[in-house]
Each structure stands twice: as C-alpha cells, then as structure tokens.
C-alpha cells in the first residue's frame, strides 16, 4: 500500500517532455502519475506517439490546439480551460499554443512514465518550435 502524499505545483518546470513541452511533475501511484504540461505563447510541440502509456488531459489555462490521429481517424480540437481529452495507446498527437496565449493542462499518465524512450517521433501537421 502506498502512503498518501500532498504537494503544490512547482513554480518552475521540473522536466522537458520529449515533445518539447515544459513539465511540472506532480504526484503518482503504482497505476499512474500526474503532471502539468505547458507550452509558451506561439510554441508548437513535436508530434509523437507513445509506446506503452495512455494519457488523460484537462486544460487549465490558455488557448491552443491538439491534433490526434488513430489510423484513418484524425481530428484537431481547440484547447481551452475546461476541455478534457484522451490520448489512448498508439495515438499520434501534437499540440500548440495560440499566438496570444500559452496553454497549460494537467495530465494523468497510465501506467507511470517509463522514461525518455517512451515517446516516438511521428509526422504531425505543424512544424515543431518547442522548447
């Protein structure tokens, strides 16, 4: 059994994701972990897919767009506070902040993030500019 834990959102990033976004690692348990992801104004992440994890994101601030692709299904959705989305295993994805505001989301990764080799670069719709 895990001991319960508490923390505050770190003031600065604690890691840089393979897609180039700023990460503030939060808490985790055996089945998964939570993090805060952020892109600055006008920045675009690299497009990636994951080898073994799935994610659920909840946008908490800013504006942007998220592109996702699974086989023949492809869509781009607006990112704004209150939007919740999933990134199932094998989904290709890329996100970008608007030209007037950065974008920030809290994400749950299941199972916990295994390390740098988890993300595999793919071709996305936009040219990456992060970090």
According to DSSP, the residues that pair with 80 across neighbouring strands are: none
In the predicted structure, residue 81 carries a pLDDT above the cut 90: yes
> pTM of the entire structure?
0.94
Per residue in 51-68, pLDDT (tens digit) is 999 999 999 999 999 999
Sheet holding 84-87, edge to edge: 15-16, 22-29, 32-39, 103-110, 54-62, 84-87
Per residue in 28-54, pLDDT (tens digit) is 999 999 999 999 999 999 999 999 999
Provide the b/e sequence for 39-66 (b: ≥16 CB within 10 Å).
Answer: beeebbbbbbbbeebbbbbebbebbbbb
Over residues 58-82, the mean pLDDT reads 98
Omega before 76 within 30 of 0, i.e. cis: no
């Amino acid at each position: 059994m895990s001991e319960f834990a508490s923390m505050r959102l770190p003031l600065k990033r604690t890691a840089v994701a393979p897609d180039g976004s700023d990460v503030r690692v939060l808490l985790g348990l055996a089945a998964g972990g939570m993090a805060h992801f952020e892109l600055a104004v006008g920045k675009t992440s690299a497009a990636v897919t994951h080898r073994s994890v799935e994610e659920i994101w909840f946008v908490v601030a800013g504006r942007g767009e998220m592109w996702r692709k699974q086989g023949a299904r492809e869509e781009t959705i607006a990112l704004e506070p209150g939007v919740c989305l999933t990134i199932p295993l094998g989904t290709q994805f890329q996100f970008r902040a608007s030209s007037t505001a950065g974008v920030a989301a809290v994400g749950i990764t299941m199972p916990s993030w295994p390390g740098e080799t988890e993300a595999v670069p793919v071709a996305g719709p936009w040219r990456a500019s992060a970090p």
